[in-house]
Amino acid sequence: MFAGLGYNSSIMKLDHVGIAVTSIEQSRRFYESGLGLPAAPHTEEVAGEKVRVLKLECADPTHIELIESASPDSAIAKFIEKRGPGLHHLCYQTGDIVADIARLKSQGFTPLWDAPRPGADGCLVMFFHPKETFGVLTELAQKSR
Ligand code: ZN
C-alpha cells in the first residue's frame, strides 16, 4: 500500500494483462516453463471477439491472458497485422461495471460499445479506446455472480 492512502477495498484490482500472440501454442512456453506461471487447463474461445484465450496465473487476482485470433477479421488479427504481437490491454476488476462506465462517461471518456458484453470467464466487459486513455486499451470486467 502507498503510505498515507490507507487500504480501500473499493479500489479496482488489476484483473489481467492481455497479450496479443500469433500462436498460443508457440508463445505459452515462455510463460509456463520460462516464468513458471501455471496455465489454465484449456484455452477458451470468446466467440463475440473471435479470439481464443489462455489464462496463466500470476499474483492473485491478476493473470496473464494470451490472446490469439480465431478469425482473420478479428480485432486481435488487425492489431497484430498493424503493430505485431505484444502488450494489448490492461483489465481492471469492477464490482459495478454499469456505474463505473457511467462515471467514466460523465468525465468525457467514451466506451467502445453502448453496453457491456460477455467476455472470457462469463464476465461482463467494456473497453475504452487508447485514443482516450493515453495510449492504453483499457478493459473493465465484472465477474458473474
Ligand atoms: Zn481482457
pLDDT above 60 (res 92): yes
pTM of the full structure: 0.88
Would residue 52 count as lying in a domain?
yes
- Read off the pLDDT of each residue in 35-49 and give the average, rounded to a whole number: 94
Would residue 3 count as lying in a domain?
no
Would residue 133 count as lying in a domain?
yes
Would residue 57 count as lying in a domain?
yes
Would residue 20 count as lying in a domain?
yes
Q: pLDDT-based confidence at 60, cuts 50/70/90?
A: confident
pLDDT above 60 (res 3): no
- Read off the pLDDT of each residue in 118-143 and give the average, rounded to a whole number: 92
Q: Rounded to the nearest whole angstrom, what is the distance from the C-alpha of residue 27 to the centroid of ligand 1?
A: 17
Which has more confidence, 47 or 14?
14
pLDDT above 70 (res 28): yes
Cα–Cα distance, 104 to 133 (Å, whole number) = 11
Q: What is the domain range of residue 99?
A: 13-142
Specify the 3-state DSSP secondary structure of 110: coil
Cα–Cα distance, 77 to 79 (Å, whole number) = 5
* CATH number, position 83: 3.10.180.10
Cα–Cα distance, 98 to 6 (Å, whole number) = 26
Would residue 8 count as lying in a domain?
no
Q: Note whether 141 and 124 are within 8 A (CB).
A: yes
pLDDT above 90 (res 1): no
Give how many domains the chain has, as a whole number. Answer: 1
Return the C-alpha torsion angle 72, 74, 78, 80, nearest 10: -90
Q: Rounded to the nearest whole angstrom, what is the distance from the C-alpha of residue 126 to the centroid of ligand 1?
A: 9
Q: Rounded to the nearest whole angstrom, what is the distance from the C-alpha of residue 4 to the centroid of ligand 1?
A: 31
Q: Cell 458473474 maps to which residue?
A: 144
Would residue 7 count as lying in a domain?
no
Q: Rounded to the nearest whole angstrom, what is the distance from the C-alpha of residue 18 to the centroid of ligand 1?
A: 5
Q: pLDDT-based confidence at 47, cuts 50/70/90?
A: confident
- Read off the pLDDT of each residue in 100-104 and give the average, rounded to a whole number: 96
Would residue 4 count as lying in a domain?
no
